[in-house]
Amino acid sequence: MDEFDEYMVCDDEVEVEGEDELKLAEVYKLAEKLIKALEEIKSFELREAAALMLIKELVSEDKVLLGLATKMLQDICYGFEDKYVS
């Protein structure tokens, strides 16, 4: 099971249509590229600012995503590892 499949596993069975699955795979590949680019930035401050800009762009005005991102960041700070499903 690769990392993509690991994130696709949920407690509830979720039906993902073929086209959505392709889009999700593309998003995952692009996210990997963005993360690699972020890791190559030598300045910690610039890396931090870029990461926060990405989070802000992804969350936008979506209150559910904002709550999920907040929960994930709190869990990361406290060392918890959970799978997140909205």
Asked whether the beta carbons of 23 and 29 are under 8 A apart, the reply is no
Average pLDDT over residues 61-78: 89
In angstroms, the CA 24 to CA 59 distance is: 17
Average pLDDT over residues 41-45: 94
pLDDT reading at 86 higher than 60: no
Query: Residue 79: its pLDDT value, please?
Result: 86
Average pLDDT over residues 48-73: 90
pLDDT reading at 9 higher than 50: no
Query: Residue 18: its pLDDT value, please?
Result: 81
In angstroms, the CA 29 to CA 37 distance is: 13
pLDDT reading at 49 higher than 90: yes
